[in-house]
Each structure stands twice: as structure tokens, then as C-alpha cells.
């Protein structure tokens, strides 16, 4: 069993695509029109045949409630691994990214939490 696709719920797919590619540096992998929404995925530049991140449209009301509750509680929806968190943090700050948690060491990892502008807190993690 392998993880091939995972998803983040987003309030606007186009806004999400712009943030995840132009700001976070992912690459668009798949875009298939599906009526009102799209099957829209991005991948890491370093692993373009790796796990795809589906930018999941929020078409289901309970999902909106769940996303809002997570965001308001400060709970990250998902986490992305980085090699150098301090460097990523400084670069993303220059691009206007808002962090609710700056780089903070917690045992064997350092983490930070950012707002993805699409309704989610995203955690960045560096294994020390």
C-alpha cells in the first residue's frame, strides 16, 4: 500500500493553485475540468513523480465547518517537510506569508505554522 494522492480542502482552487505554486514552490501536475470544479493537483519540484497534493474544492457544507473549526483552533490541516526551516521561513516571510507559529524547536523537530490563504493552517517541519 502506498500514498499516491492526499488532499487539502481549499475555498478557491485558482487562488490555491497560485499560492501553492508561486509561493510555496510546488508544480502543477494535473488539471482536469470536472464541471464547476477541477481535479487539480500539485507536486514537489524535487519529487514530480511522488505524492500528489489534491487542491480539493469545498463543495460539501460539513467540510467547510470542519475546515473553519480546525483553522480557528490553530490546528494544522497537514504538514510538509522542509530541509531548512529557518531558511524557508525567512523566504516565505519576504513573500508575504503569514505565520501563526514561527520556527519552534519541539524535541527532535523544528516546526512553524503558516496560513495558506485558502482556509488552512499548514505546518512546516524540519527533522533535526
Q: Hey, what's the torsion of the CAs at 66, 64, 15, 76, to 10 degrees?
A: -10
Kindly report the backbone phi and psi dihedral angles of residue 97, in degrees, each rounded to the nearest multiple of 5, phi listed first.
-70, 135
Which domain, by its residues, includes 50?
Answer: 5-127
pLDDT digits (tens, 9 = 90+) for 63-89: 999 999 999 999 999 999 999 999 999
pLDDT range class, residue 59, cuts 50, 70, 90: confident
Cα separation of 53 and 26, whole Å? Answer: 9
The count of domains in the chain is 1
Query: What residue has cell string 533535526?
Result: 128
Report the CATH number at residue 56: 3.10.180.10
Amino acid at each position: 500500500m502506498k500514498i499516491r494522492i492526499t488532499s487539502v480542502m481549499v475555498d478557491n482552487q485558482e487562488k490555491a493553485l497560485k499560492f501553492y505554486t508561486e509561493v510555496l514552490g510546488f508544480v502543477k501536475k494535473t488539471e482536469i475540468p470536472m464541471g464547476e470544479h477541477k481535479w487539480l493537483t500539485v507536486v514537489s519540484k524535487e519529487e514530480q513523480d511522488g505524492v500528489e497534493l489534491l487542491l480539493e474544492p469545498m463543495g460539501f457544507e460539513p467540510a467547510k465547518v470542519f475546515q473553519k473549526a480546525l483553522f480557528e483552533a490553530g490546528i494544522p490541516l497537514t504538514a510538509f517537510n522542509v530541509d531548512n526551516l529557518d531558511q524557508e521561513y525567512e523566504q516565505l516571510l519576504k513573500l508575504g506569508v503569514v505565520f501563526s507559529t514561527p520556527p519552534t524547536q519541539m524535541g527532535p523537530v523544528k516546526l512553524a505554522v503558516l496560513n495558506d490563504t485558502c482556509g488552512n493552517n499548514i505546518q512546516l517541519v524540519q527533522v533535526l
